Amino acid sequence: MPNWFQAVLLALAAWRTWHLVALDDITDRQRRYVTDGRDKLLDFIECPYCLGFWFALGWVGFFAAWGTGATWAALPFALNTVVIALNHWLSSE
């Protein structure tokens, strides 16, 4: 069972990896290739409640299998999420 800090890291990493796959420009070409003509699949990928759940489940499974290794792997994704949030917050003023 992750402690509160590890749980927050995993949650932030799950959001960042979902966002990377679902919405980031860098994966736009791959996303269009996979979903070409499949609107329901695109809806699933872009839905944080749908695909986001599976990313979260993946991070939990990763943590269950490798504990500390998963925490270290989640750290850069979590920090990147914080950078994105701070940038959004600071640039909106």
**Per-residue confidence in pLDDT tens, the chain, 93 aa:** 999 999 999 999 999 999 999 999 999 999 999 999 999 999 999 999 999 999 999 999 999 999 999 999 999 999 999 999 999 999 976
Residue 21 near residue 45, CB atoms below 8 Å:
yes
**Structural domain count of the chain:** 1
Give the phi and the psi of residue 78 in degrees, each rounded to 5: -65, -45
At 93 the pLDDT is 63
Using DSSP, state whether 38 is helix, strand or coil: coil
At 92 the pLDDT is 74
**Who contacts 2 (Cβ-Cβ below 8 Å, separation ≥6)?**
10, 63, 71
What domain range is 43 assigned to?
4-91
Residue that has been written with the tokens 């796959």 in this structure:
21
Give the amino acid at 41. L
Which of these, 61, 50, 71, lies nearest to 4 by C-alpha position? 71
